[in-house]
Amino acid sequence: MKLSVQFQDLILKQLESFGCFMGIKHLIVYFASAKEDSKAGFELISQWPQLERSLLPVDDDPELKVSSPNRRWYPIQDKKFLIGVLRVETDSENEEWPLILDSRLKALSNSLAKSFAIEIERQRKDEEINNLRSQVSVVIHQLRNPLAALTTYAKLLIKRFGEDDDAREIVERMLTEQNQINNYINSFEQINNNINFPIELSEERLLLPPNLDKSKRVTIKSLLEPILDRGKANAKLQKRIWTQTNDWPDWTLENISLKYIVISEIIANLLENAFKYTEKNAEVGLVIIDSGFLIFDNGKKISKLEQGKIFEKGVRGIASKNKKGSGVGLYLARKLARQIGGELYLCDQDGNNKINSFIRELQKTNIFYLELPIEKLNK
């Protein structure tokens, strides 16, 4: 096993912590190893003090073949598995070592065992991650060809439809969605590399991959337009009423810092819930106000009992009882909102004086208010 420099330094620090405690002269750590077609042996990993001369392997050192009152061996063991051994040399000639010394050395060997177990697990995980990265790279590469072909076929369809504006519009929207898929693939390709994320990613799944291209101009409008187009198309397919504001305030047109791209994730989550869990004829929509967004539906009202729980992780309402889902959508949306200095409210429960007039004007059954730190978005 090839050990990292950081791990070897950690082992040395553990050995150094003993110093010259109770006559200890030498501490040596060996790792149990067995190469293919050879017998098992012990590989020297670290020693204190660090001597200029190199030690012989355990099997080749004649001194170790003879017992000595000033030498002890302590197994470095994780459960039933022998990971290595700790060799201890002292200046004592007594057969019996002090109990306190023996106890501390056993504690050291246990600590070393835990360290080795963690390092072995880390290396195993690293190997798994590298294998996954390799597989993801292959999948990404294979996806690009059919996506490029879809673009070609869509452009041919546009030429064939000629003056049929309705048919052309449908195909053009397909091209828009295909372009979004390309953006997702590009993001996944970047995620597959070692990078620093602009924000702390949540442990839950995301609907959208983060934008990692710092050179790309990003505005609230550019983030939301594809999501709203998708909502409009979804409503048309389901024969719902779709409502959205077409006026974009100045703050939605300015470049934003990368950490605020999760705004699209929050809104996509809320709209996904509205389409999935409301009645088929219920209106769905979004309104932009001075301090954020109102995402609403005109379906069955969320009950008072559910209102106090819908933002809890794993909680699913009555409307979602017979539908697939994990119950983390609203929990994740609020968590992301707070992460960027905003807040997410269900207006029936958390009515806010600043937007009461908008709530009364909308007259919708369920309204979620995504409040944003407007003044900080482009800093």
Rounded Cα distance between 311 and 331, Å, is 5
| Helix, strand, coil percentages, rounded to 5, for the chain | 50, 15, 35
- Count of structural domains within the chain: 2
User: Measured between alpha carbons, how far is 308 from 375 in angstroms, rounded to an integer?
Assistant: 30
Tell whether 14 is covered by a domain: yes
Q: For position 174, what pLDDT does the model report?
A: 82
In a domain? residue 72: yes
CATH of the domain at 239: 3.30.565.10
| Collapsed DSSP state (helix, strand, coil) of residue 88 | strand
Q: If you ran DSSP here, which 8-state letter would residue 268 be given?
A: H
217 and 110 belong to one structural domain: no
Domain-located, residue 372: yes
Q: CATH code at 43? A: 3.30.450.40
Domain holding 272, by residue range, is 197-376
Q: Coil, strand, or helix at residue 118?
A: helix
Question: 263 and 340 in contact (C-beta within 8 Å)?
Answer: yes
Give the separation between CA 118 and CA 14, rounded to whole angstroms: 15
246 in the same domain as 108 = no
120, 31: one domain: yes
Pair (346, 217) in one structural domain: yes
pLDDT at 130: 83
What is the pTM (predicted TM-score) of this model? 0.53
pLDDT computed for residue 221 by the predictor: 93
Is the bond into 49 cis (omega within 30 degrees of 0)? yes
Buried b (16+ CB within 10 A) or exposed e, 63-85: ebeeeeebeeebebbeeeeebbb
Same domain, 100 and 17: yes
Any idea what DSSP says for residue 219? Answer: B
Weakly modelled stretches of the chain, pLDDT under 50 = 195-199, 201-206, 208-212, 323-326, 349-350
Position 342: which residue type? G
Query: Which residues, 6+ apart, have CB-to-CB distance to 50 below 8 Å?
Result: 12
Which among 107, 126, 145 is the end of a domain? 126
Instruction: Indicate if 95 and 204 belong to the same structural domain.
Output: no
Q: What is the pLDDT of residue 203?
A: 42
